[in-house]
Structure 1
């Protein structure tokens, strides 16, 4: 199954990245010489995405100008200049720019390296894993020991049947949410029109046994603080990103 559209969440203020983000938007902060958001866009393009909606707020004009020059897919701007919509509200607003159907949701401040050459990408595997009959969302996950830049929090525990539940201390098979989702846009048909957190939909899906997870291949990197930048670049130097 090839999914051709995506929503990229890129409108945050990047407050934890200050003072860097006092003068530039977080999605354009360079990591090993490339804007952070390009890593996310590239993994989407590698998976077959041809159109993505991207929300903008902080230094929105600069982000928009950069996205207009991105060559590998059509970019639609979900404008949050006037009002930030949080993760769930931003996704719901961006969905209005896309066609009804399956899509990827991707955070702009993370990516992964070290996928196995010749095999399907992590996002392609996630698309094949997703079953709308039994799942509201399929989340890409990663064990804590294969992360760089993360705060150490274990987000979920992955059951043997692939279901996710909130991690509880001592639980089996803890995983970190890797910031990528496959879902059908109809899931948000009842979404509020104001700002809300995506965790509301995670918890609803958990309660109904419909949040599932797939463990990614490779090493996951998130860049949320200035201290995470040299850590990310050191990992990239050891295991380069294919571009």
Structure 2
């Protein structure tokens, strides 16, 4: 099974640690975030992984090579010249997903107790083009889903901004769920990306296609999830392990 790890971010909220290392190599419980993500993917049966890199890209590549690719196939998608955002990053790595099977994407700074194998099976057994792991945790920006768990829109509660491809959209009618940074996609998604620019957000992309393709929610029960995006979240992450 194939997966992609998003590891290209600048990690600005983790400064000063990320002044000298990429976010992916910031340690939690004595091991880099990247180590935790790779081990979780391997335990779920993913044995072919591509990692996008930008900030201190060589450090990430050297770390993986020094660990003998963790005993699996690991490739890199080089974004060192320009960060391509989440959608552009997936599009650039499309060559890797050449077996016509669904694949999984995992942010490197997300720690959780989700069963990735069950999630992957859920997506593979359905008819959704993309399935997003979401939960009812508190955040400023939410994805909006209908009663059938189909994506319908997005809202930023701080700014009041709302996005949806549906006319006369009323956000109050839909369920607000927070995206986890974990998702599974079918390679057919790349057909819709052809006309998109080199750099774009995957959420904006989903909002542009959810009217014609099924983008659905996966809501784990009692999900424990930590977004290791800020310095103060490192203490919480240490407790997680």
Give the TM-score category using the shorter length: 0.7 to 0.9
The residue aligned with 1:148 is: none
1:209 offset after TM fit, Å? 5.7
Q: Which residue of 1 aligns with 2:111?
A: 111
- CA distance in structure 1 between the partners assigned to 2:94 and 2:109 by the alignment: 20
Distance 1:154 1:193, change over 3 A: closer
**Deviation of 1:60 (Å):** 0.8
Structure 2: state its 5+ residue gaps: 156-170
**Whole-Å separation in 1 of the counterparts to 2:148 and 2:124:** 13
- In structure 2, relative to structure 1, the CA distance for the partners of 1:39 and 1:173 (3 Å cut) is farther
Question: Does 1:185 pair with 2:172?
Answer: no
Mapping of residues 49-198 of structure 1, within 5 Å: 49-68=46-65, 69=67, 70-101=69-100, 102-113=102-113, 121=115, 123-130=116-123, 134-144=127-137, 152-166=139-153, 173-189=175-191, 190-191=193-194, 192=196, 194-198=198-202
TM-score by length of 1: 0.81
Distance 2:87 2:58 in 1: 23
Q: SS at 1:16's partner residue?
A: helix
Alpha-carbon distance in 2 for matches of 1:111, 1:228: 11
Of the three residues 212, 219, 224, the one matched with 1:215 is: 219
| Aligned equivalents of 2:58, 2:237: Cα separation in 1 | 27
Question: How much has 1:128 moved relative to structure 2?
Answer: 2.5
Change (3 A) 1:199 1:52: same
- 1:30 shift after superposition: 0.6
Q: Deviations over 1:15-74 (max 9, x none)?
A: 121111011110000112111122222222122111011011111111011122242521
Q: Work out the CA distance in 2 between the residues paired with 1:103 and 1:199.
A: 17
Corresponding residue SS for 1:106: strand
Give the root-mean-square deviation of aligned CA atoms. 2.2
Query: What do the CA deviations read for 1:143-172 (whole angstroms, capped 9, x no partner)?
Result: 206xxxxxx225224433222333557566
**Retained in 2: the 8 A contact 1:163–1:209?**
no
- Asked if structure 2 preserves the Cα contact closer than 8 Å seen for 1:7 and 1:95, the reply is no
CA contact (8 A) 1:156 1:177 kept: yes
**TM-score (normalizing by structure 2):** 0.82
